[in-house]
Amino acid sequence: MQKPQILWKYQTPSRASITLGWKNLSQKGKLWLILANLLWLSLVLYNYSARGSEFMLVSGLYPPLLFTIFLLQAKGFPRESVGSLMEVLKTENNRIFIADYPLPDTVRKVVIGRIDIQGPAFLQLAWNQGHQWIFQLDELQQVRHFFRQHAPQIEIVNE
């Protein structure tokens, strides 16, 4: 559940996440994605043939490519494998522990929010190499309440 970098698992596009996203996309979604990319590509190629600018060709190919990668990556995010943060969140000797990781005394801010509108949620230390935890969306308010109750000195930044 913990990732020691700012990037989440499957956030950096990988072949596995994009393949999973393609599998999770509906038949209509696949059709619309292919048609939109073909339409965009034909407009870019038509514009290139009319003007002959290589810059316009290259800059016209990047937006649909990035959009497709981000869409497939978002569809490939494994929401069902997200764990429960409230099960591993605890206090001992006036220190907060997430699983076996004690929050450092230097932590003054945490960022709590959701990855996207359907979830999951995340808790991220504002610094300390970006440690973060991804958890179920329905626990979002409980995690905020836990930090307000047990660590009022830590500022909660809502994302």
- Does residue 2 surpass a pLDDT of 50? no
What confidence score (pLDDT) does residue 7 get? Answer: 42
Please tell me the distance from the alpha carbon of residue 107 to that of residue 113, in angstroms, as a whole number.
Answer: 17
What confidence score (pLDDT) does residue 33 get? Answer: 93
* pTM summary value: 0.54
Q: What pLDDT digit, counting tens, does each position of 9-66 carry?
A: 444 556 777 887 888 888 999 999 999 999 999 988 888 888 877 887 888 888 888 8
Please tell me the distance from the alpha carbon of residue 109 to that of residue 151, in angstroms, as a whole number.
Answer: 10
- Does residue 138 surpass a pLDDT of 50? yes
- Structure token digits, residue 27: 């038949």
